[in-house]
Structure 1
Amino acid sequence: MADRIELKGLRCFGYHGVFEEEKRTGQAFIVDATCWADLRPAAESDDLSQTINYAELAEIIYGIVTGPPRDLIEAVAGEIADTAMRAFPQLHAIEITVHKPQAPIPREFADVAVVARRSRKGMRA
């Protein structure tokens, strides 16, 4: 059983999308991250180096979302998940949700999101 750290609602402005207008004007993206790890060492030692530093995680997410444009938010979510797995060796798994609240859909909708999940079991050597 693993413990969990959650970072929810990180707002970033990016230029991702398949349409030229999306790449030109950009839009807000909201990212949630759920990290699974054994947090007992951090709880016992009260040592930041023994856990997932969520400020560092937020900077990774922000840097990718505000970075080079991608066509698909699937690519954005996957890059965030893969980068976090490399950055935090104590992670058992991570789930990244990228919300695109202003997606170009000609109907009323509550949310569009892509969820990428990575785990140590599924990682390539």
Structure 2
Amino acid sequence: MAIPDGLDRIELTGLRGFGHHGVFDHERRDGQEFGVDVVLGLDLTAAGTTDDLAETVHYGELADSIHGVLVGPPVDLIETLALRMVDLCLTDARVQWASVTVHKPNAPITPTFTDVAVTIERSRR
């Protein structure tokens, strides 16, 4: 799914945090680094015209909220993390579309790999 036509975008990429998510006991016990990328689709005309922070999503506050989920209570699946984060993004009524990708670069799999990631996208439309 791509960002719907007519919407502007705010992107927050490479957010990092240490969490204890996973289905295995050692993941819960030892924890690991996770990454998150967020893309919001919304109309930024008012913010661009007025130069007023109140007319847009404060990406610093968004980063803090997403990070809180990332380092918060453990869950088994990164799908759960991504869904919680995309739902959080949509609590701001100005956001019409959101995409969240959760990266688990140290997933417990045997073959050599670069990253495991899950992306969840949701829209109000």
- Return the TM-score normalized by structure 2: 0.94
In structure 2, list runs of 5 or more residues that go unmatched.
1-5
Q: Which residue of 2 aligns with 1:72?
A: 77
- Return the TM-score normalized by structure 1: 0.94
Q: Distance in 2 between matches of 1:84 and 1:34?
A: 9
Q: Which residue of 1 aligns with 2:108?
A: 104
Name the amino acid aligned to 2:54: S
Match of 2:9 among 4, 11, 30: 4
**RMSD of Structure 2 on Structure 1 (CA):** 0.6
Q: Distance in 1 between matches of 2:115 and 2:8?
A: 28
Q: Which residue of 2 aligns with 1:27?
A: 32
Name the amino acid aligned to 1:60: S
Q: Distance in 2 between matches of 1:57 and 1:65?
A: 12
Name the amino acid aligned to 1:110: T
Q: Distance in 2 between matches of 1:26 and 1:44?
A: 44
Match of 1:46 among 43, 51, 57: 51
Q: Percent identity?
A: 49
Q: Distance in 2 between matches of 1:101 and 1:67?
A: 18
Name the amino acid aligned to 2:115: D
